[in-house]
Amino acid sequence: MNPRRVIGIDAGGTKLLGGVVDEALDVHHRVHRRILGLDQQELIDSFVDAVEEARSAAPDAEIVGIGIPALVRPASGSVLVSNHLPLDGVPFRDLMSERLGLPVHVDNDSNVAILAEHRAGVARGVDEAVMLTLGTGIGGGLLLNGEVYHGSEGAAAELGHILVDPDGPDCPGDCPNHGCVEAFASGTAIGRAGEEAARANPDSALGKALDAGREISGGLVTELAHDGDPLAREVLAAAGRMLGLAMVTLVNVFNPELVIVGGGASAAGDLMLDPAREVLAERALPPNRRLARVVQAHFGSEAGMIGASMLALDALTPLTQVGE
């Protein structure tokens, strides 16, 4: 008998990634959409279109899981607040189910990412972990006592809004604060810092890229850093040190076994994580600085898509069988 398949969709502040995923967590078809700057109706249409494309490749997939960058009420699947997408107050689960004619399950994108890592990734067998997902912003997930923690109303684990510099820049999106770690270590922030560094250092690889008309994004900074550009590496190291400050707070509060870093900007790997580990080792309280290991997500930028698929698979399959 062929393994049953579902559709998993993961959305960030800039783009959407979806896929047809089976019970062994193999991905059979991927869909991509750019969603930056869309209004609410265009955004909903983009979600529907992505699911329909995936379904056309797998007509047997008749249940959908979706992770969105928003605070989601677990019981109703409605959005409390979304910092980067125009979804505030939208009854997202019911609206998508009505549009698609399919059962839909929805949660915060970082909650589903840590679910994927717990069930089948780096946190398998671990009961206490925190996760930071680095993309357009920084999302967060908490695994406490072996369960994903949502808080009293689904608004927990906004870890990207840990304050690391009270005199720092404004936080992106609708966050009213400034100096949040999201303003220093997200993919967006890395791109902004890279552009500033490029303008100040025109003879560097970053400076030459800017002069050639290339957009200085977090991805380009990472690419040039992996190619050996010292300036790009320092931009990543600076972001890593700020990320490490946020980790200090997290490990002192939650005493986790793992700090997991995922999302697209985690492609920087140890170029950003080693400086974060150094700050954590210097500043966290004992025994947290010794116990907490900082690791890269097993599923990388696809953790959210895999985790969203698990929401759907849970409706079909006993929990212990998913991914085994």
pLDDT tens-digit series, residues 182-196 = 999 999 999 999 999
What is the residue range of 46's domain? 5-113+302-321
Residue range 212-253, pLDDT digits in tens: 999 999 999 999 999 999 999 999 999 999 999 999 999 999
Cis peptide before 103 (omega within 30 of 0): no
Same domain, 238 and 317: no
Same domain, 94 and 222: no
Please check the confidence at residue 323 and state whether its pLDDT lies above 60.
no
Task: Kindly state whether residue 119 falls inside one of the protein's structural domains.
Answer: no
Residue range 267-311, pLDDT digits in tens: 999 999 999 999 999 999 999 988 999 999 999 889 999 999 999
Segment 133-139 shows an average pLDDT of 92
Same domain, 235 and 153: yes
pTM of the prediction? 0.92
Task: Kindly state whether residue 187 falls inside one of the protein's structural domains.
Answer: yes
What's the angle, vertex CA 301, arms to CA 291 and CA 229, rounded to 5?
Answer: 85
SS3 108: strand
Cβ burial, residue 301 (10 Å; 0-12/13-18/19+):
buried
Same domain, 134 and 86: no
What's the angle, vertex CA 17, arms to CA 258 and CA 63, rounded to 5?
Answer: 95
Segment 310-323 shows an average pLDDT of 70
pLDDT value of residue 203: 95
What does the block give as tokens for 308? 């969203």
Same domain, 292 and 307: no
What's the chain's average pLDDT?
93
What does the block give as tokens for 210? 């800017």
Of the pLDDT bands very low, low, confident and very high (cuts 50, 70, 90), residue 317 is: low
Q: What is residue 184's DSSP assignment?
A: H
Count of CB atoms within 10 A of residue 92's CB? 23
Q: At 289, which helix (H) or strand (E)?
A: helix 288-291
Residue range 74-112, pLDDT digits in tens: 889 999 999 889 999 999 999 999 999 999 999 999 999
pLDDT value of residue 1: 57
Using CA atoms, how far residue 61 sits from 36, 55, 210, 217, in Å, is 27, 6, 45, 36
Please check the confidence at residue 257 and state whether its pLDDT lies above 70.
yes
Same domain, 254 and 173: yes
- Say which range, 132-146, 156-170, 230-244, 307-321, has the weakest mean pLDDT: 307-321
pLDDT value of residue 46: 97
The domain that holds 281 is classified in CATH as 3.30.420.40
